[in-house]
Structure formats: C-alpha cells, structure tokens
Structure 1
Amino acid sequence: MKYENYYRAFRQSLQSITKKLTFLLVCICLWGCSSPDRGKGIRVVASYSVLCDLVEQLGAEPRCLINYDRDPHTYEGTPQDRKAIEEADVIFYGGLNFEPSIIKMIRATNSPAPKIAIHESPKIKIIQGDPHIWHDVENGITIVKLLAQTLQQIDPSNSQTYEQNLQNLIQELTNLDRWIAQQITTIPPTKRRLVTTHDAFSYYARAYGLTIEGTLLGISTEEEPTAAQVKNLIDRVRRAEVPTLFAELTANDKVLRNVAKEAGVKISDRVLIADGIGKPGTPEDSYQGMLIYNTCTIVAGLGGKCSPFNK
C-alpha cells in the first residue's frame, strides 16, 4: 500500500511536469518559430499612411508616425516620434515639405540609418514642388520599387519575400492604373473638372484626363484663403458649370461649403482622401482601396459611372 501511494504520487508529478514542458515548448515555438518573412528583424519608420501601407504590403512592419486621420502638412512631431526615428534602421518619408515637422526631426537626427525622401526621387516628374505624387499610380509603382530596393539592401535575409511581394504589387497597380483611366472616361467630357479643398490632385488630373478648375487652398493646408480667393473660386465654379465640389478627409470644409452654396452647386457627400489612406477596417484603408474610393467618388460626383475593380 505504501509503495502504491509513492507510485501514484510520482506518476501525478510526472504528468504535471510533462504538461508544463509541453506548454513551454508551444510558447517557445509560437514566439520563435513565427514566419520570418515579415521583416521583423529590422526597425522601419515611415512618416505617413501611404508609405506605411506600402511598406507593410511589401512584407515589413513599419512604425507609422502620422495616422490616417491627421494632416501631414500641419502635424507636429512628438517625443515618441523622435525616439522612433533615433532607433530606426531605415526611415522613409515624403519630402518636398509634405510633412514639415517630421522632416525637421529627421534632418536633425544623428542616426546613421538611411533616410529616404521618396517624393524627391529623380525618377518622378514633380509638378512645381507638389508632394502628392502617389495619386498617379505610375508614381505609386515607382514608390514601391524604391521601398523594396531599400528593404532588400538592409534586410537581405528577406529579399526574396520583398521581391515576390513587389512583383505582385506591380501587377495589381498596373491593373489599377488602367481601371482608373477607364472610369474617368465615363464622365461627360465637359464635366471633367475638379474643385477640391487644397491642391492635392494635380498628379491625378494629369494622369487621368481631368482639369483642376480650382482649389480653395494651395499645395499645403497650412494656408488660409483670402476673401478675394474665395470670390475668385466662386466665379470660376459658376463659369465652368462644375457640377460638384469635393471636400477632404483631414481638411476643414466650412469655407468650401460656403463656396458651393454661393455658386449654386452641390458638394459631394463623400470626402476625398487627399493626404493618406482611409480609416482602418474600411475598404479604403490601403493605397489601392483609397484610390478606388477616390475614383468612384469623383466619377459619381461628376456624372460618370464607376464599375468594380478586379485585381
């Protein structure tokens, strides 16, 4: 009886140890055996949501400084942003004074990490210092190539993953570029005139056959429109018979609504996403989704018909 009790206690103890070891091994595997193709070994910082999204689609995991609902033109960098920049292995930002506070931080750091001003690439045809290059999908393809090239250089162990994701993205973006052009052709030719809050869609208009009839503000939302500028825009909208005006996600639309009222035209009930991507969890929370959303918003507002995008 005595030995049976010892045996029973020993067996119970052994079972308990076995369970704990099994649990420990599972935890170790989950922590250490996860997929290596997400660029977890490098610290990537990206300044605003378009770059953040494209870096993520390529396979890295960026620290994004400016959220989708913040205006990069007026965003003020934080101590947390400075710390992320100092600790980064690579820093991607727009440049061309798109996110001035972040640019100032990046240029002030002593970090040896590569600092890549994507918008300032000589491979992109800049429109008079306008930083909103990504609204032309051909520029978007150039952006992902530049991002992938840098990621492959600093993280060669994941080079194959970056390359595969790059090729998939190029194919999808090529199809998207063609799709956008097709949607714009459904707008009556005399109605292909765009009026927005600030001058963020010149690349889009150049690429897809629209005319920027006017904007309330210039390239940056830091500006304030004068009474003369507002009156001039009202007159231009009336003369051109623009059917719809478009407000923007991160900009105050009060003055533009007054312009629409005075000019006797409607303002779209869907705002354009001018300086990033859309809200997480929505169809427009990616670079491609944002362009699809903006295109269908513009097309519907100007009298065209938008068809679904098939990758």
Structure 2
Amino acid sequence: MIPSLEHLQRAYAVTREATQVTPLLESAALVKASGAARLFVKPESLQWAGSFKARGAYWRLRQLSPEEAKRGVVAYSSGNFAQGLAAAGEALRIPVTIVMPVDAPAAKREATAGYGARVVLTEHGERAREEVAAEKARSIAADENLTLLHPFDDVEIVAGQAGAGIEALDQLEAKDTTADILLCPVGGGGLIGGVALAFHYLSPGTRIVAVEPEGFDGMGRSLAHGAIEATPMGASTICDGLMARRPGEAPFEAVRASRVEGLSVSDAEVRAAMKLAFEKLKLVLEPSGAASLAALLCGRMEVAGKSVLVICSGGNVSLSDFMRHVGDA
C-alpha cells in the first residue's frame, strides 16, 4: 500500500501536464513572527480548483479503463476533493457525481456544480457526515454502475498528491536549500501521505508534522497508538475540509513509514493564521488551508534557527465566511 518513489514520480510526470506549478513563497514577516531561520510557504490554494486535490483526482481518473471512464465515477466529499475531481472530470470528459453533506459550504457546492458535476446532498443528523455521504456514494455506484472513488483512502490518490511535495523539493533545491521541518494539514491523510513519502525518499532529514484541528486529530492519535483510531463524536471545527474522524488506511501506512508526528490547532489559532496570511502574504486561505500556518505560529513547536516549509492546502472559502473568520481573529 506504500507507493515507491518511481510510482510518485510517474504520477507527477502525468499530473504536471494538467496542474499549475504553485509558487514557493519566502517570507521575512513569518520569520520574524515565528523565529525560524527561513520560512517557505507553498500555497496550494492557488492550484486549479483552489486546492491540492486536483493533483490526486487527475491522476486517479487517468487510471480508469476506457469503459470505466465512459460510465463515470462517484465520490463523496465536503468540498475540495469534489471540486478537484469535478475539474479533472471536466478536463478528461469523464462524468462525475459528487455526494456532499448538506452542511458543506455553499461556495464549494456551487463551484463543484460549476465544473459540470452532478451534486447529490445528504442529511446526516447526529451521525458522522462522511459516513452518511459514503453510504450514499456506494449506493449510487451500485445502482448506476459507476466507479466508486475514495477522496483519500486510495494508493493512487496518495501518489497523485505527492506531486505537491516533489514540486516543493524541486523549488527548494532551486533556492539551494532544504527544509528542516515540514508542516502539512491533515483530514483523511491523502495529502500528507503523498508529501511525506516524497520527503521520506528525497529529503529524509526533514521532520514532518501532521497538523489537525482539535477534536479531529485522528492521524495524531493513530500514530501515537500504532494503529488507526477514530476521534470521538461531538467535536466541531471551522476547518470543514479536515473533519475526517479517522485517517484512511493507505495514507496512514504511508505516513507511518515516513516517521510523521502529530500536532493539533484550535479554531482561534486557525483564524489568526488566516488573518496573517492575508495581511502578510496576500493569500486568501480557507480555515483548512491555514491549519499548518497556525501550527507554525501557535508557539508549541521549536522552530528557532530552522528552515521551515508550510503547505497551505486550499483557499475555497466564500467572501462572507472569510470576513467572518478574520473578523473574529
């Protein structure tokens, strides 16, 4: 279940044809705020469809047989994978159905439909929303003979997302430097699974930190116990894209092999990071996309004298929600 370096590089060679090279920003302001020696931010918020998800989605769709591609695919997502998959499907002319929780952000739902995907909403009540949406996606797949895709628990999704890490490593090399610490946000683990493997193979000295919202620290709990563990029900967070209660098996195996550690951040810390990213970096980040920046700024990590890379995963947020979060910071 752990992709090889050759597997990751093969995926990146394909996905780079259809994705943007997101910049690697160096920030003196963040050096001053954090005490790091050098500070780099990779804003995947500037990727097509507003997040890193386009990388894994495009690679996964390229693995379909001609018959599967003709019939189409179905997946569940609260928004960013939905948009990435819808955009990839539009580019490859593959029909896409997305099952979304009814309380997913309206901006993400509308953007998904805007790429031509069919959107099916689910009511989840007191149940975990991803469980209800996943059940509905499985039902649609069976009824309509569509290929069921998982937003993160898929070896090929992990391999596709690794492109963000390979790209960052190339950009660091061009600046004649490396990263001592890598901070990466985690929901189900698809992004950090791929990125951690890229650094594990190509920059083994880099310390890798998985950043999660408080109450949704399934990856951190699982790493601490050596087996996948779900978080208790009842928590809430503004990081709607990081609300998976447990990591996927494929990402967890990749992360565990890469010696990753976990760190949780609060909603208040995320809001402060969103505000700072806007004021100092001129970046509009959604809460989930600002989680790793919040980890840098929260003061619970020793970064003095270190070179730090922060991956900001997405920027899919409505103006009203962005203003509300930043106003509360």
Question: Normalization by structure 2: what TM-score?
Answer: 0.31
Answer 1 or 2: higher relative contact order, Cα 8 Å, separation at least 6.
Answer: 2
Question: Normalization by structure 1: what TM-score?
Answer: 0.32
Bigger CA radius of gyration: 1
More strand, by proportion: 2
